[in-house]
Amino acid sequence: MSQSATDPWDWYKSTMAGQKPPVHDGQPQCGFFRKKLASKGITVAAAIWLDDAGQLVCRIGSDDTLNAHKEWAWLARHAIPEADAHYWFEHGDWQGKRATEAPPSPTPLDAGAGGETSPKPVLMPSTTEALSAPAPIGDNTGTAPPSEEDVTLEQMQGAIEGAALWLKATKIDTEDAANNAANRVGRLRELIGKIRRYHTTEKAPITEAGRKLDARYLRPIDRADDAVKTLLGALTAWQRVEQARRDKLIAQQRAEQEAAEAKRQADIIAAEKAAAKGKSAPPIDVPLPLPAAPKLEEKVRIGGATGKRISLRTVTVVDVTDHAKALKHFAKHPDIIALVEKLARSAVLAGTTIPGTTKREESSAA
């Protein structure tokens, strides 16, 4: 930790005076802060100070066993007045309103040695009963210690933000920097593993409940869908036969009507020619236009008494007759390229030689 040799509260005093002193990741400073517990949606007070042995103590809410180095990246951005923090530690709630971040004017300071002023450090005991009063009846802010899951989530957030700040300010060009980066990777992986376990544990009853709901509702639906497909399959076979019979009958009716109309037109022409020659032709019985035959529906439709009518539906079916030519056409399509790369990688890693591929070794941090 990089603390002032004269006053460990210098950073906090500068922050509260609106001076925005620099924040260095991994170098926590004494001060008072606020912290939001993500899963509970509540904001609690926090503090970092030096104990009698000169060791850093970090308290968030009612938990004073936290690591200041891990929490610093988050806390550094949320300093609050000392009085607000003390009030929360004593009452388990904020006075009048939620604590604000650093105001432009400094907070009251206690006189120190040599006339210097410094914030009065909180001599927080190892237990929290002395500073944490129970919340009033009906209050939903709660003063119970944050859960292990909440703490881990907050630690992960701090680790993520800390890594971003560190990478922004640091170039990995020395062994020390490389070791620092490796340690951060290890810490993040450790937190990821914990949170995955929390997620699996917390989700287990939900997953089991989902399985039960699926068994109750989706399985019967699947069986009903299968029954519908079976019925439609049998129905389609009959409809195709019936459609063919109906198409043939319609074509036959159309042919008979066309033949009768052609004969009628021929008789009319013959009568007109005879009249033009002045010959007395025997009277021709010119038939009137034939009445249209009863029109049949072109599509076979059934049902409708108790539900929707069902008819044959025409769909377009594309059959690939030459896969090589079709594949050549789509050779530059992104989906085909990605699929070929995936198949080739699997085959090559399995020891198969694939034409048009090469294999090389590549190193990366893991």
Q: Tens digit of pLDDT for each residue in 30-85?
A: 999 999 887 667 889 999 998 888 889 999 988 878 888 888 988 998 999 998 88
Query: Residue 161 in contact with residue 74, Cβ under 8 Å?
Result: yes
pLDDT tens track for 263-275: 888 888 888 888 7
Instruction: Give the three-state DSSP class for 10.
Output: helix
CA 267 and chain centroid, separation: 79
d(CA 235, CA 346): 45
Among 158, 192, 143, smallest CA distance to 69 is for 158
Q: Look at residue 56 and tell me if it is in a domain.
A: yes
pLDDT tens track for 293-330: 555 555 666 765 566 777 777 888 899 999 999 999 99
Q: Look at residue 87 and tell me if it is in a domain.
A: yes
Total count of domains within the chain: 1
Please state the pTM of the whole predicted model: 0.43
Residues 6+ apart with CB under 8 A from 151: 63, 66
In order of 221, 237, 249, 302, 304, the CA distances from 307 in angstroms are 19, 20, 28, 10, 5
Q: Is residue 4 pLDDT above 50, yes or no? A: no
pLDDT at residue 309 in the model? 74
Alpha helices of 170-308 — where are they, by DSSP H? 175-213, 219-276
Q: Look at residue 51 and tell me if it is in a domain.
A: yes
Q: Look at residue 80 and tell me if it is in a domain.
A: yes
Structural domain of 67: 10-133
Q: Look at residue 57 and tell me if it is in a domain.
A: yes
Residues shown for the chain: 366
Q: Look at residue 106 and tell me if it is in a domain.
A: yes
Q: Look at residue 60 and tell me if it is in a domain.
A: yes
Q: With pLDDT > 70 as the criterion, what percentage of the chain qualifies?
A: 76
Q: Look at residue 204 and tell me if it is in a domain.
A: no
Q: Is residue 222 pLDDT above 90, yes or no? A: yes
Taking phi over 0 as left and psi of -120 to 50 as alpha, with beta for the rest, 61 belongs to left
Lowest mean pLDDT among 85-94, 173-182, 326-335: 85-94
d(CA 111, CA 25): 30
| Cα separation of the two ends of the chain | 29
